Amino acid sequence: MNVDQADPAELAALRAAFAHGGESALGRKAVHAFEAGHGIVLPEPYRTFVAEISDGSFSGPPEYGLMPVAELPDDWGGEEQKRVLSRPFPLTEAWMWEDNSDPVGNADEILEQVYNHGSIVLGTDGCAMNWHLIVTGPHRGHIWMISDVGAVPFGVQFGYTTAEPGFAGWVRHWAESKPWYDAA
């Protein structure tokens, strides 16, 4: 997974997966403005995807379509939640807060960071199950499912799926009509 250089084969696969139902691409100028406004650089191939292919899509992934880069799901929460994309996403392994486990100390503080720091919300599968692309921190470029009960990384190396990591692997897995978490 290369998050600094777009792979032409991955971009071709993304174009094919989103051939129908996509929103207009933002263009490089708008992507650079978004990045500058948030103090981040989007990981590839997502960066090129929103600049050249599509900024969102009515068809999946996920179930309710891919959100435009600057939007949040309708049920996201109130304005009191300040999202800071330039602050690092705090997790590097799955965390199920429903089990009352606390990975590093103050669970409430970490939980707020999980939802609001270092990630772009790609979209929702409904029922508060949101897919995030991590844009800062040690997991930059990885996809995470963050729900009301916990957070789980997506990619074969984490043991929950057979899919390749990152945005292109996530989309490819969806395009092949595989269940999200298909590891035995």
Q: Give dist(CA 1, CA 6) in Å, integer.
A: 10
Is residue 182 a part of any domain in this protein? Answer: no
Is residue 81 a part of any domain in this protein? Answer: yes
Is residue 107 a part of any domain in this protein? Answer: yes
Is residue 183 a part of any domain in this protein? Answer: no
Q: How many domains does the chain have?
A: 1
Spatial contact of 124 and 130, defined as CB atoms under 8 Å apart: yes
Is residue 180 a part of any domain in this protein? Answer: no
Instruction: Walk along the chain (184 residues) and give the pLDDT tens digit of each residue.
Output: 788 889 999 999 999 998 876 678 999 999 999 999 999 999 999 999 999 999 999 877 888 889 999 898 877 766 556 889 999 999 999 988 777 665 556 777 888 889 899 999 999 888 889 999 999 999 999 999 999 889 999 999 998 899 999 999 999 999 998 888 887 6
Is residue 109 a part of any domain in this protein? Answer: yes
pLDDT at residue number 44: 97
Model-level pTM greater than 0.85? yes
The letter for the amino acid at 104 is V
Segments forming the whole domain that contains residue 100: 8-175
Contacts of 47 (CB under 8 A, 6+ apart): 6, 31, 41
Is residue 20 a part of any domain in this protein? Answer: yes
Residues 55, 28, 171, CA angle at the centre, nearest 5°? 40
